[in-house]
């Protein structure tokens, strides 16, 4: 599944193209002690070329890369209804 995602961060448009492979690689890179680098790498892998410079301006600000990644992932992942039976 490929999805185009459009965000605005500090009045700068950021466009991303996320695939299932990108999503899976990000999830596999996260560890309990490593969240910032995987978020940054995910964003840099998925940002469209025309948004790359704008992303570089904000991605390394404290906590911003993780916040942007969370927004991209929220838009990418579908809503599902899961019920656990006993």
Question: What digits encode the pLDDT tens for the residues 60-83?
Answer: 999 999 999 999 999 999 999 999
Which CATH number does the domain housing residue 72 bear?
3.30.2220.10
pLDDT of residue 17: 98
* Average pLDDT value over all residues in the chain: 96
User: To which residue do tokens 């995910």 refer?
Assistant: 42
Q: What is the 3-state secondary structure (H, E, C) of 37-67?
A: HHHHHHHHHHECHHHHHHHHHHCCCCCHHHH
pTM for this entry: 0.91
- Containing domain of residue 59, as a range? 3-76
In a domain, 86, yes or no: no
Number of structural domains, the chain? 1
Residue 81 lies in a domain: no
Give CA angle at 52 (18, 54), nearest 5°: 120
Residue whose pair of structure tokens reads 């998925």 in the numeric block: 46
**Residue 85 within a domain:** no
pLDDT at 9: 96
Res 86 pLDDT > 90: no
């Amino acid at each position: 599944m490929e999805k185009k995602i459009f965000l605005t961060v500090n009045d700068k448009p950021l466009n991303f193209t996320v695939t299932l492979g990108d999503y899976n690689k990000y999830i596999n890179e996260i560890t309990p002690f490593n969240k910032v680098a995987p978020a940054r790498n995910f964003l840099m892998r998925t940002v469209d070329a025309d948004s790359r410079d704008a992303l570089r301006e904000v991605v390394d600000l404290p906590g911003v890369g993780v916040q942007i990644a969370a927004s991209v992932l929220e838009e990418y992942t579908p809503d599902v209804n899961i019920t656990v039976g006993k």
